[in-house]
Structure 1
């Protein structure tokens, strides 16, 4: 069984990310029932701005919140990042969470589900560059949810419902398949066993 973490990349009050992550988890449960998918909500970790003395690559974590975060991420074989687009990039909370740790990310595949006015495509491009530095290969397939077409709103300040069209379901299924395949393929690398 492959274990995949669905990371909610925004901590902003009123965010739509949690609802998007729940949609991802629902499709994953339906399409990939033999694999294990968990939602990892950054808001549940309340990470401060990076406050570690040593660089993350050293693995010398001095704070309890860093150790808790590292242990949570270490359990997974791969990830699906759910991110909005803030000013052409990812939220600061997501960048901060990525920067806190290093080895726990290495050699695990990732997929990106973006949402925003333009599907968070620019944020996804920035995220791909960051993930590459962390030795996280991001799969090509990407979901880009439009606030205009894939959500319904009851009021401008309410998160609204996620209502993706059938093509989004198909794209997400392909993304999940890719993440599973690559996560399994990278297992020998994570275990330090090279053929």
Structure 2
């Protein structure tokens, strides 16, 4: 069994011309340089979900929609998540909130961090993400990258992300790795405890 952590990078928006592709490639390069992580982009464009229309919350009853079941099964294959987070009107993009709502079991007991961006560095959207994550039984990590102000404007116009953001990114990834390893070990222990004893 590999000890390499499988971490999904999820862009929070699907709109044409999104800024997310630049920080997504940037954080993936940093993750690829680490021996403890295997990064994979999980693009919401590739997982079109209906707006949530289940008959009950997924904490009470499994989803019935086939696309939602496929989405949750995909999430179960990861040890943690890094969201590349846009701020829309002081909060999360709707497509991300919908994906969060549709993935209850796949998120559970796993860390989530963010590379957030916007005029205020995505800070208000990140606070909302953390609140939602707690209710999904996730572990929102304390570290984050905030791309805001002049950094955001320059990068949005074609410039590179500045080097001074790299320490924040390393701190974020250290936090995600620590919690991903700890929570994965705990989940493995729980699975072994539930396994029937050999006769």
Taking structure 2 as the reference length, the TM-score comes to 0.87
Q: Which residue of 1 aligns with 2:177?
A: 180
Pick one of 118, 125, 128 that aligns with 1:116. 118
Pick one of 160, 166, 175 that aligns with 2:163. 166
Matched, 1:6 2:13: no
* Residues 1:3 and 1:151: Cα distance change in structure 2 (over 3 Å): farther
1:122 aligns to what SS in structure 2? helix
* Structure 1 portions without partners, runs of 5+: 154-158
How much is the aligned-residue C-alpha RMSD, in angstroms? 2.0
Large movers: runs of 4+ above 4 Å: none
Deviation at 1:84, TM superposition (A): 0.7
Matched, 1:106 2:108: yes
1:175 aligns to what SS in structure 2? helix
Deviation at 1:162, TM superposition (A): 5.9
| Separation in 2, partners of 1:190, 1:59 | 21
Which whole-Å deviations, capped at 9, do the CAs of 1:23-70 have from their partners, x for residues lacking one? 11011112x134201011111111121122232113522121011101
Q: Is the 8 A contact 1:52 1:100 kept in 2?
A: no
1:97 aligns to what SS in structure 2? helix
* Structure 2 portions without partners, runs of 5+: 194-199
Matched, 1:17 2:5: no
Q: Which residue of 2 aligns with 1:156?
A: none
| Separation in 2, partners of 1:55, 1:63 | 13
| Separation in 1, partners of 2:186, 2:103 | 19
Taking structure 1 as the reference length, the TM-score comes to 0.89
Higher strand share: 1
How many pairs were matched up?
189
1:36 aligns to what SS in structure 2? strand
Q: Is the 8 A contact 2:145 2:168 kept in 1?
A: yes
* Residues 1:178 and 1:50: Cα distance change in structure 2 (over 3 Å): same
Q: Is the 8 A contact 2:9 2:24 kept in 1?
A: yes
Which whole-Å deviations, capped at 9, do the CAs of 1:67-125 have from their partners, x for residues lacking one? 11011111000000111111100101110100012111111011111011110000000
Matched, 1:66 2:63: no
2:13 aligns to what SS in structure 1? coil
1:104 aligns to what SS in structure 2? helix
